[in-house]
Amino acid sequence: MVEHVSVRHLAEAMSRGDAHVVDVREGYEYAAGHVPGAVHVPMHLVPLRVGELPRDKDLYLICETGNRSFQVGLYLARQGISSHNVEGGTSAWRWAGGPLSTGSAA
């Protein structure tokens, strides 16, 4: 199941420590600005890295506008993994004044 959630919902989950954020954008997009603490798993690599996704926290998927992350959520649902798609993506996060980290994934 893919649940659509707002950036406010994501911020609340992050403040409680309940969120595992996965950014599915390309590397250059992630490096330019991402939700702090987001793990970078480009959309095309999700099938190869699905085993790395935690099962002990709620999974929040984010891209730039919410379209790619929704597609990843549909794929994960077919694998039996529930997730939350962040509506409006990083654009909405940025517009709402959410903090951004820069730089590539380690």
Catalytic residue IDs? 63
**Cα–Cα distance measured from residue 105 to residue 46, given in angstroms and rounded to the nearest whole number:** 15
**Residues in contact with 39: Cβ distance below 8 Å, sequence separation at least 6, in sequence order:** 20, 21, 22, 23, 105
3-class DSSP state for residue 32?
helix
Identify the CA nearest to 90 among candidates 39, 37, 25: 25
Number of residues that make up the chain = 106
